[in-house]
Amino acid sequence: MFILECSNITKNYGACKALDSVNLQLEKGKIVGLLGPNGSGKTTLLKLANGLLSPTSGSISIAGGSPGVHSKKIVAYLPERTYLNEWMKVKDIVAFFADFYANFSREKAIDMLQALGLPQNAKLSSLSKGNKEKVQLILVMAREAELYLLDEPIGGVDPAARDYIINTIIRNYSASATILLSTHLIQDVERIFDSVVFLNKGKIALQGPVDDIREEKGCSIDELFREVFKC
């Protein structure tokens, strides 16, 4: 059984086709890059997988079932923007998540907060934009989920924190979990991918294991992206 399966998914926003007959199957235990230029449908795909949007046509399944109450237990989602309450303290948000999700590891969260030097007694509103993003990513990665859907997890953080986050992903990797990660910063993360999916104007332009692509094309994923999506 695939952890995530999209069958002929189309999503229209009015006259705009955000996704056009997308077929995608993700296996367990893989780290997959979801790559594409702005407006290619990456966020729409992740929202569909979380049940935040419904497809115009086609179907999507998470571990065999449709997105919903059951899938929220096994999916950890990092949305494109923050939804946390600004007035809450970091430690209160950690407690809130620990209450909310049975698979949340408070210990992991606190370890990561300390490693990145984030003050637990600070109110979220007092943190910088980058630090807020780090807190939010920590809350997601501290869950022992089966599927992590990360929408631009490293976009707003500094390069040192980026390295730490990438290492955290490698360290927390387990053969039973799958990570689908969208990003523009391909160069920084392409080494941790098993495979990549290129989205272009709502369609899958290319997909496959990264080392096979490097072998076949003789270039990095970053370079291939620049070539395929040359403006």
Partner 1 sequence: MQWKLDNNAPLYLQIADKVKLGIVSGEYAPGKRIDSVRDLAEQTGVNPNTMQRALSRLEDEGLLSTNRTNGKYVTEDTELINQIKDELAKKYVENFLASMKQMGFSGNIILALVQHEVGKGENANVYTGM
Binding site for partner 1 (CB under 8 A): 29-31, 163, 166-167, 170-171, 173, 187, 190-194, 210-212, 214-215, 218-223
Percentage helix, strand, coil, to 5, in the chain? 40, 30, 35
**Closer residue to partner 1 (CB): 97 or 193:** 193
Which two tokens mark 189?
Answer: 């993360």
Reference 204, options 40, 31, 30, 3; nearest CA is 40
In the complex, the smallest distance separating the C-beta of residue 151 from partner 1, rounded to whole angstroms, is 20
**Closer residue to partner 1 (CB): 73 or 217:** 217
Per-residue CA distances from 106 to 76, 92, 125 (Å): 15, 11, 22
- The residues near 19 (Cβ < 8 Å, ≥ 6 apart) are 9, 10, 11, 41, 44, 45, 48, 55, 202
In the complex, the smallest distance separating the C-beta of residue 223 from partner 1, rounded to whole angstroms, is 7
Which two tokens mark 30?
Answer: 């893989």
Which two tokens mark 170?
Answer: 């490698």
**Closer residue to partner 1 (CB): 29 or 79:** 29
Phi-psi region of 74 (alpha: psi -120 to 50; beta: other; left: phi over 0): alpha
**Closer residue to partner 1 (CB): 7 or 105:** 105
In the complex, the smallest distance separating the C-beta of residue 221 from partner 1, rounded to whole angstroms, is 7
Which two tokens mark 193?
Answer: 């991918």
In the complex, the smallest distance separating the C-beta of residue 90 from partner 1, rounded to whole angstroms, is 26
